[in-house]
Amino acid sequence: MAAKAKDAVPLDQLSFEAALKELEEIVARLEQGAVELDDSIALYERGQVLKAHCENKLKAAEGRLEKIVQGTKGLEGVTAVEPG
């Protein structure tokens, strides 16, 4: 079960994979519809924060990949990376 917001692990301690797993658990709980309104709101808020965290991690990884591809060729070596 996903942690409630008050018991949640701080974002700076979550890897992309851990954040995505928690987000998936939150979505599953909300889709079941067996969560009280206040808990649903708290879960939704945590889900929004996790979503933003995952997006930031992906952007950072994309930036690192662009730097690797760039290498010694300068901007000629930069290629767009499609998230998969």
Kindly write down the DSSP assignment for every residue of 49-83, as one continuous string. Answer: HHHHHHHHHHHHHHHHHHHHHHGGGGGGG------
Q: What is the pLDDT of residues 6-54, one digit of tens each?
A: 567 888 899 999 999 999 999 999 999 999 999 999 999 999 999 999 9
In a domain, 63, yes or no: yes
Q: pTM (2 decimals)?
A: 0.73
- pLDDT over threshold 90, residue 75: no
In a domain, 84, yes or no: no
Range of the domain at 21: 5-77
In a domain, 83, yes or no: no
- pLDDT over threshold 80, residue 66: yes
Q: Number of folded domains in the chain?
A: 1
In a domain, 55, yes or no: yes
Regarding predicted confidence, which is higher, 39 or 82? 39
Query: For 83, left (φ over 0), alpha (ψ -120 to 50), or beta?
Result: beta
What CATH number is associated with residue 60?
1.10.287
